[in-house]
A and B are shown apart, each in its own frame.
Chain A
Amino acid sequence: MATLAVSMFRRLEGLFCVVKPSGVHWKLVRDNVEKNLLKGLNAAPPQSCPQQIRFLRDPGADTETTKSLTLSVASVPVLSKHPLVTGPEFQRIQVGVGHRLDVSSSGVLVLAVGRGNRVLNDLYETRVTRDYTLECEFGSATDDFSDTGRVVERSTYDHITLDKLNKVLAMLQGAHQKALLTYSNVDLRSQEAYELAVQGLLGPEGKSVPILTGLRCVHFQPPNFTLEVQCLNETQKYLRKVVHETGLELRSTAVCKGVRRTRDGLFTLQQALTRHHWTAPHVTRAVQQYYSSKKNKKTRAVADRGDRITTTGGECDEQPSNLNQ
């Protein structure tokens, strides 16, 4: 018979996503979430101490002369099962992290609890794209490509127009598209390659160089501009390097002020939990939401595969994985 805490834990098992604040290491986020979940689980009222019947001799006369046979019955709690002696019911839970974010980035971070870790593993290995928003600034170049590094070069940027920026971005995107085709391990002139391309399944299996499947500028106000990226196998440092290279291509310099992940596979910023919601009831709700959305997705998975207009390379190519609910 499972206790209240165990049934609460069963409802927690699964995947959910949180918003990682910038300036915080991902491990601290994971530890904080684990601590809060443990607090929520152990706050459930513990089972009462089981009682034990003991027969005690009547105290009183303690000489050997009185041979009284009366015994009194007492029901005493078994202290060895008291929660202060056995400890809390849950002392550790497994909370796993999906694709990591480095310290200065922020955004969607996928976490999994308990049995959801197995699914997380599958998700991690599947080819899913991620969406980033990069806030950038013209005028300087630093050693670690972000605005907190040591400035290496300064330059003017009056000559830059949106046109030129778009041209450079298109060129970059073309180069990455070629890389995508190279790493997809199919002979481009075969029927197999055509079919994969139609379904949007062209892409590298496993590890490869970072590939940007989509890149565009959403906001341009010199010196600031914002880029939106969809990518595979990337690191945040690589994205900052892309910004730096864009600046160089435009005969100027650029740094990346902020990297923000807005989507990781199917997990978007909309469903992500902010810092104030890292508690057991909120996480339970998020996990249930994930399950229900998975159910919906399974029923209409095959139908709308082909008729999505996406940026080059396609997104959301996660195969439906098995999760026993």
Chain B
Amino acid sequence: MSSSHALLCLSCRSQLSSKTVAATLLYSTQVRHYATITNAAPKIQNGLLFFRGTHRTMQKWKQHMFCFSDFAKHLATETKEVKLTEELSRTDVVVYESPILPIIDTVSVNERQVPLDLDATDELPALEEISDEEAISITLPAAMPPASTSLRDYIDKSETLSNLVQLGVNLWKLEQRPNVGSMLLRLDYKTDVAPRLLFLKDIGVEDSRLGFIITHNPYILTESLESLHARVNYLKSKNFNSETVASMVSRAPYLLNFSVKRLDNRLGFYQQQLQLSASNTRNIVARLPRLLCGSLEPVKENLKVCKIELGFKENEIQHIVIAVPKVLTANKRKLTQIFDLLHNTMKVPHHLITKFPQVFNTKFLRIRERHLFLEYLGKAQYDPALPSYISLDRLVSLPDETFCTDLASASLEDFYLFQKTI
């Protein structure tokens, strides 16, 4: 049974040097195909065997299977300080069972079976006495499954993952995304992760935001440093100063993943469509950096809604967007709902709404409740020409307490009671 799918490191014992590493796996599963070793087996790097299974159907295994063999390669480089003398051979025979895994990178392998000789006796029995130094140097095999749906099985062994957790990256959220976990396991801390974190620090991002950025955009760790530098230089060439660039990157983690051409395209779009000056464009993009990240179609639709359905003029739209850039990415239904309430029910004219664009940023129910309360009390007066005028910005932005005492001259409990009657 096991002859076809078990590998022994018999042939490798002689090649184990003192700098070898033990990364073993004791894992018995029903395996139906051969264990293979590549032709590079005799030239074992650090004493570790690489083996790749045949490419199995990916559909059976969902996104979460983390590839063990690549991770094992990195494990080798991390535990160099563990010395292994020839006493390794005294340990029990280590059986490698090949994992039934989809291996994502398709390397052509030359398959060669290694026959297992079950009758070969151990050279050194397990009951022989050994010295203390040798006892210390025996390392236990790592109890690490070759495939797992969660990163917590690998975090103790992976330098990258432990450092990311200490930075504050939410690994639980990341492992839900397809393929991100495998990607993180494959990264090497010193060569991949650290340079990019240092780059982010250089452009001015605060340490506390690094975790947030990587949680939302782990792919920043796979962007090439030259392109990252190029994009930051492009933004600086457009007269964004360095603090602005740092704050934009902290708030829109995907920003530096986009090519210079795409960033340029978007900046140009906002400048032309809204006919804004360069400094105004810089202003709105600095305040809402995700304008540069998303697609432009929803923005175009929102602009059309504002112009055609809501009936705002060009300069009014400009003013609204400069004051509240979020209108460009807001939900169209919400925009029309709020506008309908303001214009048709509360009878507020266009120019007054333009003066207070922050009404588009609030919850619809909030405006509705407050307006109905004021109407019930007879205080709903939104015309600045008439006495006891209530401005829209105060109506919308004051907290409940202040609204009740200042604008409605009623108590908070009355307001809550009234909400039950509408």
Question: Which A residues, 66 to 114, have Cβ-Cβ distances below 8 Å to chain B?
Answer: 67, 69, 71, 78-82, 84-88, 106
With A79-B156, A275-B365 given, is the CB distance from A71 to B136 under 8 Å?
yes
Complex Cα–Cα for A62 and B80 (A): 10
With A79-B155, A84-B165, A85-B172 given, is the CB distance from A62 to B81 under 8 Å?
yes
Majority SS at the chain B contact face: helix
**A24, A64, A276: which contacts B85 (Cβ < 8 A)?**
A64
**B133, B162, B400: which contacts A276 (Cβ < 8 A)?**
B400
Stretch at the interface among B260-268, B376-384, B414-422: B414-422
Nearest chain B CB to A143 CB, angstrom units: 21
Complex Cα–Cα for A277 and B421 (A): 16
Contact between B156 and A80 (Cβ–Cβ < 8 Å)? yes
Q: Which A residue sits closest to B82, measured CB to CB?
A: A57
Nearest chain B CB to A66 CB, angstrom units: 10
Is B83 on the interface with A (CB-CB < 8 A)?
A: yes
For A163-186 the 0/1 string (1 means CB < 8 A from B) is: 000000000000000000000000
Contact between A67 and B400 (Cβ–Cβ < 8 Å)? no
Question: Which B residues, 142 to 159, have Cβ-Cβ distances below 8 Å to chain A?
Answer: 151-153, 155-156
Is A126 on the interface with B (CB-CB < 8 A)?
A: no
Q: Which residues of chain A have C-beta atoms less than 8 A from B162's C-beta? A: 79
For A274-295 the 0/1 string (1 means CB < 8 A from B) is: 1111000000000000000000
Nearest chain B CB to A111 CB, angstrom units: 16
Contact between A80 and B169 (Cβ–Cβ < 8 Å)? no
Contact between B171 and A85 (Cβ–Cβ < 8 Å)? yes
Is A272 on the interface with B (CB-CB < 8 A)?
A: yes
Q: Which residues of chain B have C-beta atoms less than 8 A from A224's C-beta? A: none
Complex Cα–Cα for A276 and B416 (A): 9
Is B129 on the interface with A (CB-CB < 8 A)?
A: no
Contact between B172 and A86 (Cβ–Cβ < 8 Å)? yes
**A62, A71, A84: which contacts B171 (Cβ < 8 A)?**
A84
Complex Cα–Cα for A318 and B83 (A): 75
Q: Which residues of chain B have C-beta atoms less than 8 A from A84's C-beta? A: 165, 168-172
Is A233 on the interface with B (CB-CB < 8 A)?
A: no
Is A265 on the interface with B (CB-CB < 8 A)?
A: no
Is B224 on the interface with A (CB-CB < 8 A)?
A: no
Question: Which A residues, 141 to 158, have Cβ-Cβ distances below 8 Å to chain B?
Answer: none
Complex Cα–Cα for A324 and B173 (A): 36
Complex Cα–Cα for A67 and B18 (A): 14
Q: Which residues of chain B have C-beta atoms less than 8 A from A5's C-beta? A: none
Q: Which residues of chain B have C-beta atoms less than 8 A from A23's C-beta? A: 364-365
Is B132 on the interface with A (CB-CB < 8 A)?
A: yes
Q: Which B residue sits closest to A24, measured CB to CB?
A: B365
Q: Which residues of chain B have C-beta atoms less than 8 A from A59's C-beta? A: 81
**B132, B155, B364, B421: which contacts A85 (Cβ < 8 A)?**
B155
Of listed A22, A64, A79, A272, residue having the most chain B CB within 10 A? A79
Complex Cα–Cα for A62 and B79 (A): 12
Is A119 on the interface with B (CB-CB < 8 A)?
A: no
Complex Cα–Cα for A17 and B133 (A): 69
**B133, B165, B419, B421: which contacts A79 (Cβ < 8 A)?**
B165
Contact between B153 and A80 (Cβ–Cβ < 8 Å)? yes
Q: Which residues of chain B have C-beta atoms less than 8 A from A88's C-beta? A: 172
Of listed A82, A85, A272, residue having the most chain B CB within 10 A? A85
Contact between A106 and B422 (Cβ–Cβ < 8 Å)? yes
Q: Which residues of chain B have C-beta atoms less than 8 A from A69's C-beta? A: 132-133, 136
Is A21 on the interface with B (CB-CB < 8 A)?
A: yes
Is A212 on the interface with B (CB-CB < 8 A)?
A: no
For B111-155 the 0/1 string (1 means CB < 8 A from A) is: 000000000000000000000110010000000000000011101
Contact between A85 and B168 (Cβ–Cβ < 8 Å)? no
Contact between A64 and B83 (Cβ–Cβ < 8 Å)? yes
Complex Cα–Cα for A107 and B85 (A): 77
Is A316 on the interface with B (CB-CB < 8 A)?
A: no
Complex Cα–Cα for A133 and B170 (A): 49
Q: Which residues of chain B have C-beta atoms less than 8 A from A86's C-beta? A: 152, 172
With A69-B136, A84-B168 given, is the CB distance from A19 to B152 under 8 Å?
no
With A80-B152, A85-B165, A86-B172 given, is the CB distance from A274 to B420 under 8 Å?
yes
With A57-B136, A59-B81, A62-B81 given, is the CB distance from A85 to B419 under 8 Å?
no
Nearest chain B CB to A32 CB, angstrom units: 11
Complex Cα–Cα for A67 and B155 (A): 30
With A64-B18, A67-B133, A85-B165 given, is the CB distance from A80 to B155 under 8 Å?
yes
Q: Which residues of chain B have C-beta atoms less than 8 A from A22's C-beta? A: 422
29 contacting pairs across A/B (C-beta < 8 A): A21-B369, A21-B422, A24-B365, A57-B82, A64-B18, A64-B85, A67-B133, A69-B132, A69-B136, A78-B156, A79-B155, A79-B162, A80-B155, A82-B155, A82-B165, A84-B168, A84-B169, A84-B171, A85-B151, A85-B152, A85-B171, A87-B173, A260-B421, A269-B420, A274-B419, A274-B420, A275-B419, A276-B400, A277-B416
Q: Which residues of A line the B interface, CB within 8 A? A: 19, 21-24, 57, 59, 62, 64, 67, 69, 71, 78-82, 84-88, 106, 260, 269, 272, 274-277
Q: Which residues of B line the A interface, CB within 8 A? A: 18, 81-83, 85, 132-133, 136, 151-153, 155-156, 161-162, 165, 168-173, 364-365, 369, 400, 416, 419-422
Additional pairs, 10, CB under 8 Å, beyond known A23-B364, A80-B153? A21-B369, A21-B419, A22-B422, A67-B133, A78-B156, A85-B152, A85-B155, A269-B420, A274-B419, A276-B416
7 closest Cβ pairs, A-B complex: A87-B172, A80-B152, A67-B133, A274-B419, A79-B155, A85-B152, A85-B171
